[in-house]
Amino acid sequence: MAAFEVFMEIGSCIKVQNGSCPTSYLTHASYFHEQSYSIQNRTSAPSSYVTLPRKNCTCKATLKEANSKIESVEKLKVKPSEFSSEIELSSLTAISPLDGRYRNKVKDLSHYLSEYGLIYYRTLVEVKWLIKLSQIPQVSEVPSFSNESQKKLQELIDGFSNGDAMQVKNIEKITNHDVKAVEYFLKTKCQEDPQIAKVLEFFHFGCTSEDINNLAHGLMLKESLNSVILPVMDDLINAIYTMAKANAHVPMLSRTHGQPASPTTLGKEMVIFAERLSRERHDISKVEILGKFAGAVGNYNAHVVAYNDVNWPKIAEEFVNSLGLSFNPHVTQIESHDYMAKLFHSFIRFNNILLDFDKDIWGYISVGYFKQVTKAGEIGSSTMPHKVNPIDFENSEGNLGIANAVLDHLSMKLPISRWQRDLTDSTVLRNIGVGLGYSLLAYKSALVGIGKLQVNEAALNKDLDNSWEVLAEPIQTVMRRYGVEEPYEKLKELTRGRVVDKERITEFIKGLEIPVEAKTELLKLTPHNYVGVASQLVEEACFRANNK
């Protein structure tokens, strides 16, 4: 064979014979899974043969027969070189769009919620624990560290790099245990410091893996919230408050059940969303992030055996608090994750409110209440040149759905563990960044969309001008005050299913048997000024927000 190409039909077995070489079988499954590495980048036949075994294969096809069969399924041919090399990870080859298409929008989370972040915070906890042990008088085997040794330990945290994380991963290939790999990494790093080298076995002293993991996850959440997510939430909320304040006095037809209803103002409808989101953001920031450090089943068993004169629960509380986390004294092998469920449910509520906002804005755009600022070169539709689609709000809506699906599973699964623990939480916890990443992506999309909005007062006014029937509510209410019989029924007869304009309303008011003063006030009403105290509600809400 001048060019070494293997043509395979799915499910087939092809016999390959190369001169005097032994016969072997090429199969679709074994080719992919067992031998792809052995034929990488080859353009000619090997000197002997390629073995791609298939168990219990009884195929007796000759090479000629195989070629004949292949000619009839040419469309299924596959070249080994197309599958034999590993595709390099990039924005184009990433499976998750968070690490691909949307990488630039969520990359700020990578430092905290990636595997790099998990390894970094595990390292931090292990180092801090060794330092804490050196400060316990009864643990005389770990004396106080010199300034130089303390500096060395702190550098392990402050100078932690991608290379360090890769070194941990390489160790894990041998240990097949990710937390133990961090311990071995630290021992390797500290061998040359004479003081630390004497106490290397006190890395991970008294710890179960979950003592390290739960604190690492707590720190990952705490830092990613404070540094990345909450600031973007604040930007989003402030943008909606700004919309509300700017449009506090702009009248707009309400649409209860999708039908014309009593007028409001655009600003008042926006401030409702700002207030709702603000409350949930406040709840998120107040969730207490808990940590445990109580050993294999939460009783400090090994600690007490080694040093029975130390108040280990007190030491553990001091240590957890020193990391900026709250202490959970009553645990099994794991921290129970109830706070995570509370936190993620709060995110779900925030996301649902934003989802409601996205849909409302989408609707207002569809009826022309908002225009969208266009950008040179951008295309709204591939076939309809006039369109400017509300893609940012649609993107936000879609990603909020994915975020909530993940966060809901985290909330429902994480508090549940068999007996003292099982491992089902371990793989699930690796998806915290997925739920929060899609949330962050949605927040940023909504922010971009808000920045493109322009109020179309002409469209707002047109709808109001065509909806004089909404004044039926105030008219019948004033009629009730002055004892007019069946006011609701009279207005129902006047308006329902009929075209109602200014002249018809004016004529009806003039014919009412109510005081002149009341009649005069009713005649001043229009759909544009019948908005109650909407603007006042906006101003009060914005004032409170600015003074929190």
Contact 231, 225 (CB under 8 A): no
Question: What is the DSSP track for 367-411?
Answer: TTSEEE---TT--S-SS-TT----HHHHHHHHHHHHHHHHHHHHH
Is 237 in a helix, a strand, or coil? Answer: helix
Nearest one of 107, 127, 93, 356 to 219, comparing CA atoms:
127
Spatial neighbors of 22 by CB under 8 A, at least 6 apart, are: 48, 49
Longest dimension (CA), the chain: 116
Based on its alpha-carbon atoms, the radius of gyration of the chain, rounded to whole angstroms, reads: 34
Active-site annotation holder among 48, 91, 285, 381: 381
Q: Report how far apart the first and last C-alpha atoms of the chain are (Å, whole number).
A: 78
Angstrom distance (rounded) from CA 510 to CA 40: 92
Output DSSP code: residue 186.
H
Strands 326-327, 290-291: pairing is parallel
Catalytic site includes residue 111 = no
Positive or negative torsion for Cα 105, 111, 115, 118? negative
Counting every residue written for the chain, the total comes to: 548
Active-site annotation holder among 47, 257, 330, 386: 257
CA dihedral of residues 366, 371, 374, 380 (deg, nearest 10): 10
Strands 251-256, 259-265: pairing is antiparallel
What's the per-residue H, E or C state across 403-464? HHHHHHHHHHHCCCCCCCCCCHHHHHHCCHHHHHHHHHHHHHHHHHHHHHEEECHHHHHHHH
What are the tokens at 286? 């107040």
Angstrom distance (rounded) from CA 427 to CA 2: 48
Angstrom distance (rounded) from CA 525 to CA 545: 32
Angstrom distance (rounded) from CA 186 to CA 149: 13
Contact 480, 487 (CB under 8 A): yes
Catalytic site includes residue 257 = yes
Name the one residue in this structure whose structure tokens are 């940023």: 444
Q: Looking at the annotation, which residues are catalytic?
A: 257, 381
